[in-house]
Amino acid sequence: MTMKIYAINGSPRKNWNTATLLQHALEGVRGCLPDASTELVNLYEHTYKGCTSCFQCKKLGGSSYGACAIHDGITPLLEEALHADALIFGSPIYFSDITGMLKCFLERLLFPCFVYDKDYSSLAPKKLPTAFLYTMNVSHEQMLANRYPERLHAMEAFLGHIFGATTLVQYVTDTCQFSDYSKYKMELFSGAEKTARRETQFPQDCAHARELGSQVAAAIAHPGK
């Protein structure tokens, strides 16, 4: 059976930093698992909402126990994601967190699997390697000063608990937001410096994303390690 790996793009942009890095991560997967099927999913192309707290996924004997009862634009994707062989999530950082679209998707994906028993058990159908790739326009030093890794770790921990595997992480800082900064009121940043950094640093970030994909592939091939 063909392995399936999804890269879930939580950015509204389909061809900029986050999406590009996710594509490189999938290249890294295919480099190690050439027969695997990979797909980049752009969440902003779908119409959906977050968890509505209906608790139908927790209702004993109910038709939706262990599954999201909402039927909308991501219903098929949620089922496919749960039975994938790996998931790589990508998001720009907005207001110190992942985008709302990705947060809504993760609410719908994870909460039905989360059991309110003494062990907080998981109903996930299989062990699933996951990775998170974050992009942000702040510097590495600002990221640490603002405690982004600590803030973002909570969702990573939920992923690890639900799917039974350590979540791999890559931070990409000081990104270039536009091809032409002169068109926007952005005097806080130097367009020339951002453009120069994209030319020199972003290829390295893409190489690291490919390595992240290779690590995901290794986790699929050797799930016990």
pLDDT in tens, 163-201: 988 899 999 999 988 888 888 888 888 878 888 888 899
Q: Are 5 and 38 in contact (CB under 8 A)?
A: yes
Classify domain 4-221 at the CATH class level: alpha beta
Structure tokens at 130: 């996951």
Contact 47, 14 (CB under 8 A): no
225, pLDDT greater than 80: no
Mean of pLDDT values over 68-75: 94
Please give the single-letter amino acid code of residue 98: I
pLDDT tens for 77-120 read: 999 999 999 999 999 999 999 999 999 999 999 999 999 999 99
225 versus 201: which is more confidently predicted? 201
Evaluate whether 89 touches 131 at the Cβ level (below 8 Å).
Answer: yes
Q: Strands of the chain (E only): list them.
A: 4-9, 37-42, 86-92, 130-135, 167-172
Q: What is the pTM (predicted TM-score) of this model?
A: 0.93
Q: Domain ranges for the chain, please list them.
A: 4-221
- Cα–Cα distance, 108 to 112 (Å, whole number): 7
For residue 224, the model assigns a pLDDT of 59
In contact, 168 and 152? CB cutoff 8 Å: no
Query: pLDDT tens digit string along 127-155?
Result: 999 999 999 999 999 999 999 999 999 99
